Amino acid sequence: MVVRMKGIVKERGTLQIGPMDLDFPSGYVTAIVGSNGSGKSTLMNMMMQLVHPDQGQIELLGHTLAGEHQWELKKRIGYVMEKSWNDQNADTLERIVTEMKYWYPTWNQALYERMVDVFEIDPKQRFGKMSKGTRRKCEFIIGFVHEPELLLLDEPSSGLDPLSWKFMLDEIRAYMDRGDRAVILASHIIDEVKRLADYVVFMHKGKLLGRYEKDQLIDDWKALWVEASPEVVDRVSLRRLGGVMALENESRNVVKIVTLDVSMTEMALEQAGLRVLRTGGVELDEILTYLIQQS
């Protein structure tokens, strides 16, 4: 585990984050998916020791955090924050990089030069003069190029054009290829989560809704379109069949069933003598919505 959180509680204005236990394994990409204000960024800030929990314990890269800043640990983490730093407007990538080379022993100069080249960045341009996307690319480079053991990405692709986005995903993939690093990704972009994540953590209003193996979710959650006249629906209580999360009437004789356990629901439908006309996948954002409704 790169990060272990145990009994974490943090008051953030009207929002209470936690209490929650959450582990992030090494070798995997874990995506945190949640509505706005669900507490994703606060979790990352806790890992970066920018925010300290009111209760609970955080173990980071094998060290227990105990209030005081552990700078050596920070060198082993890369963080792409959600928001840009306004006080850096007059700064340039070139100047920041000269400092970073000294700060990070694992700084990869060849990777830096390649990324500046592919992203078509002028390292002498002031951040304040850059477009939102170009600035985002710089922030990604700054968090990434020392190839940290733990990479925290908070909405990394906001503002990126499709080509740069694709390049960023390829870089993250190559970085993870070694198998002993970890990415924690907060993202609203479902396609990004699907491409990168091995595990998905769902959060809502500071509470943990669950942590799942991503492909297990895709395998288990399905929409089933079932042939069922209103008389049959009266007779068979579809809502009570195993795994059923939601029902929608598609037409007079067709009901759409959303299930979190397709094999269980299919079996129950067969026993009830009902025919499945079509099976479809359920997207991760829809799963989040159903989990929120249920909680």
Partner 1 sequence: MWIPIQINENSAEPLYHQIEVQLRSLILSGQVEEGTLLPSIREFANDLKCSVITVRRVYQDLESEGLLRTKQGTGTFVAKVGSDERDRHRRTAVVEAMESAVDVGMQVQCTKEDLKAIFKEVLDAKYKG
Per CB under 8 A, residues contacting partner 1 are: 27-28, 169, 173, 176-177, 179, 194-199, 213-215, 218-219, 222, 262-263, 266, 278-281
**Shortest Å distance, C-beta 34 to partner 1:** 19
**Shortest Å distance, C-beta 216 to partner 1:** 9
Nearer to partner 1, 67 or 179 (CB): 179
**Shortest Å distance, C-beta 26 to partner 1:** 12
Nearer to partner 1, 31 or 46 (CB): 31
Nearer to partner 1, 28 or 127 (CB): 28
Pairing status of strand 244-251 against strand 254-259: antiparallel
Nearer to partner 1, 130 or 223 (CB): 223
**Shortest Å distance, C-beta 89 to partner 1:** 35
**Shortest Å distance, C-beta 259 to partner 1:** 10
**Shortest Å distance, C-beta 223 to partner 1:** 9
Three-state SS annotation for the chain:
CCEEEEEEEEEECCEEEEEEEEEECCCCEEEEEECCCCCHHHHHHHHCCCCCCCEEEEEECCEECCCCCCHHHHCCEEEECCCCCHHHCCCEHHHHHHHHHHHCCCCCHHHHHHHHHHCCCCCCCEHHHCCHHHHHHHHHHHHHCCCCCEEEEECCCCCCCHHHHHHHHHHHHHHHCCCCCEEEEECCCHHHHHHHCCEEEEEECCEEEEEEEHHHHHHHCEEEEEECCHHHHHHCCHHHCCCEEEEEEEECCEEEEEECCHHHHHHHHHHCCCEEEEEEECCHHHHHHHHHHHC
**Cα gap 227→281, rounded to integer Å:** 18
Nearer to partner 1, 155 or 266 (CB): 266
Nearer to partner 1, 122 or 219 (CB): 219
**Cα gap 247→262, rounded to integer Å:** 14
Nearer to partner 1, 54 or 285 (CB): 285
**Shortest Å distance, C-beta 281 to partner 1:** 4
